[in-house]
Chains A and B, each alone.
Chain A
Amino acid sequence: MGDWIHPGVLIMLGAFLVPFLGNRKVKQVYLILLPSAGLVILLLTSMGFFGAIPAFPGALHKWRIPFLHYTLELGRIDKMSMIFAYVYVVIGIAMLIFALREKNDWEHVSALIHIGSSVSAIFARDLFTYIFFVEIATWSAVFLIWFRGTKTSKASGFRYFLWHVVAGGFLLAGSIMHVQTTGSIYLDLMPWGWGWPYLAYYFMMIGFLIDAGSFPVHSWLPDAYSTGGVTSVLYVTAFSTKTGIYGLVRCFPGVELLMWLGVVTAVVALFLAVLENDARRLCGYHIISQDGYMICGVGIGTYLGILGCVSHIISHIIYSCLLLMGASTVLSVTGTCKFTNTGGLYKYMRISFWLYLIGGFSISGMPYFNGFVSKSMTIEAAELIHQPIVYLLLEGATVGTFLHTAVKLPYNLWFQGRDEPPADIRVKLKDKPENTPINMLIGMTIPAFLCVYMGVYPYYPFYEMLPYPVDFVPYTITRVFSISQMFVFTFLAAWYLRTLIRGTPTYTLDSDWLGRVPGYALVSFCRGPLMAFGAFLDRSMLKVADVAITAVRNPGIALKMTPSAIGAGVTIIVVIFSLLAAILMKGI
């Protein structure tokens, strides 16, 4: 096992102690200490306490376990896995602080298992360990969604589960085929091409893409994120898609298909976001859109593309957590985060608004926020490989992101041109400038600080932690001026069309319609016509059996009682069935 303690496994196993800690204060301290212990292990690992980490792609190899003819490896410690693990653990701590007042112990248990299994999946070197931990993460995520306790959350939790089981199935099928043909079980660069020999890699890619929330298999994401528990769904939003993209970065860098899929995802999600009425669904579409950037970065595949992808994942986990926290504060304080029911909250939730806005500016890529640095890398990578269409679509996605997260969402939740919220919400609010509980505000401050710090000074420790050496200078006059001018004019268009970006009490269909509506049709076909046919068959067979019994008991009377043709028919059926039964019995 070696001297290294696996932080993911530590957090997962430590989770089971939570329900046994009697005192609530002790429990709360433990909830913070457990992931902090993981963070300490990561820091010690970085400092070379368990051996020096070689330059990427070199790695330290820990926790190697022999299994059948293979050696599973739970701890591949290289710069790529370390940066993911750091951000997972730090954001996990911020989320646990945010959810500290939650009384349901099992929510905390599921959350810690989700964080731990995601970290473990990141450290896995072989495909089977990766899939194993991703499946644990899926299970815990389903519970985290169910903790909302509503009928819709139950249904969408099941849908989330189905999607991820399908993804896991594809991944496992592809992995087994890969292992059979090559003999290698490692989650590393995979071959790519067109044709039957590459079928295994198509399966693996489909699995990763479903997990990553790529178009057209993205629809589970807003569905699950908008119906999950107020605080519990935050964990799902941060880690599940990023673990999928991590798989893509490891296995399929430089696959051009991914570049195009990424830009399409980035743009399509924004069109759907315009029509949204629910703040959390809107954030869900933005997560999809940003995932598009990352997938595009993987597809570009140059050093800068991969760096853009990885740094965007890191920035994104931080600011998307902040955005979702903002929506969750409104949901937990007012009981709703639908645009048609909110507005005018600024007077009562000021600090949450400003903290949210830091997340909004970061995701839009505003200068001096972390999104700017990472997004510029991906866009520059597209420019350097001379892809004007990809470049324009990514810029278009930047415009759309600014429109929604920095204009539409804050305007609809906190303002809508009103000083006071609607009466039914006003009664839930106290007369003070901030109604959000203090632990939630502290939870939001951690990612908000990171968003600003990484934006203002990305060189240390952010650049140092990235897998490849970085000489990218984000703050040039050209870049800062261009994006600022673009945002000024985006606001202008949004201002003229502001009546169109208000929420409407409607539901927007997505690509899951293709599965759900035929699914319902299939269920209603089974319930209606198929059941009726089954019942008819049942009745007919019983009748036949009745006649057969009578015929066997007293053939003479039966023939007299029934018309001769039916009698003959019945006799034939009985004979055929008896013969069939005899053959079958003999066969067995």
Chain B
Amino acid sequence: MKITKELLMKLYYIFGVGGSLVIGFLLLYFDKLHYHFAFQYIPGFFAICGFVFCSILILGAKLLGIWLVRPVDYYEKRRRQ
């Protein structure tokens, strides 16, 4: 079987996304996870953490970009003025 991008993504969804959620629930159920804070025991907390933080980072940065992003020669122009 040829390794394609579609196949890799399918494997990622099944074993990565699905697998990590199932393992997470099982580990929690059998009391194998030991955390310091109560909120860490929320099922799928680290999944939410990863997804939400990553989205906040990308979308937040794009919002910040409205003020911060300038043409490449921004300082050159300033210097010449």
**Using a CB–CB distance below 8 Å, which chain A residues touch chain B?**
270-275, 383-384, 386, 388, 391-392, 395-396, 399-400, 403, 476-478, 481-495, 497, 500-501, 504-510, 516-517, 520, 524
* Cα separation A491 to B15 with both chains bound (whole Å): 13
* Cα separation A520 to B34 with both chains bound (whole Å): 56
9 closest A-B pairs by beta carbon, nearest first, are: A274-B61, A489-B50, A493-B54, A486-B50, A383-B36, A490-B50, A399-B53, A489-B51, A485-B20
**Of all chain B residues, which has the CB nearest A393?**
B53
* Cα separation A505 to B72 with both chains bound (whole Å): 7
* Cα separation A493 to B49 with both chains bound (whole Å): 11
Main secondary structure of the interface of B (DSSP, over half): helix
Cβ contact within 8 Å between B54 and A490: yes
> Across the interface, which residues of B come within 8 angstroms of A482, CB to CB?
33, 40, 46
Cβ contact within 8 Å between B62 and A500: yes
Cβ contact within 8 Å between B64 and A497: no
Q: How far is the CB of B27 from chain A (nearest CB, A)?
A: 6
**Using a CB–CB distance below 8 Å, which chain B residues touch chain A?**
9, 12, 16-17, 20-21, 23-24, 27, 32-37, 39-40, 44, 46-62, 64-65, 67-75, 78-79, 81
Q: How far is the CB of A132 from chain B (nearest CB, A)?
A: 33
Cβ contact within 8 Å between B46 and A483: yes
* Cα separation A271 to B46 with both chains bound (whole Å): 20
Cβ contact within 8 Å between A504 and B69: yes
Cβ contact within 8 Å between B64 and A275: yes
> Across the interface, which residues of B come within 8 angstroms of A508, CB to CB?
65, 68-70
Tell whether A271 pairs with B61 under 8 Å between CB atoms, given A384-B36, A489-B17, A506-B72: yes
What would be 14 A-B contacts, judged by CB atoms less than 8 Å apart? Answer: A271-B60, A271-B61, A274-B57, A274-B58, A400-B54, A403-B57, A485-B23, A492-B51, A493-B51, A495-B9, A505-B72, A507-B73, A507-B75, A516-B75
Tell whether A485 pairs with B54 under 8 Å between CB atoms, given A275-B68, A505-B72, A507-B71: no
Cβ contact within 8 Å between A490 and B53: yes
Cβ contact within 8 Å between B69 and A497: no
**Of all chain B residues, which has the CB nearest A504?**
B69
Query: Which of A273, A396, A399, A507 meets B72, CB within 8 Å?
Result: A507
Cβ contact within 8 Å between A490 and B51: yes
Tell whether A391 pairs with B37 under 8 Å between CB atoms, given A274-B58, A275-B64, A507-B69: yes
Cβ contact within 8 Å between A493 and B50: yes
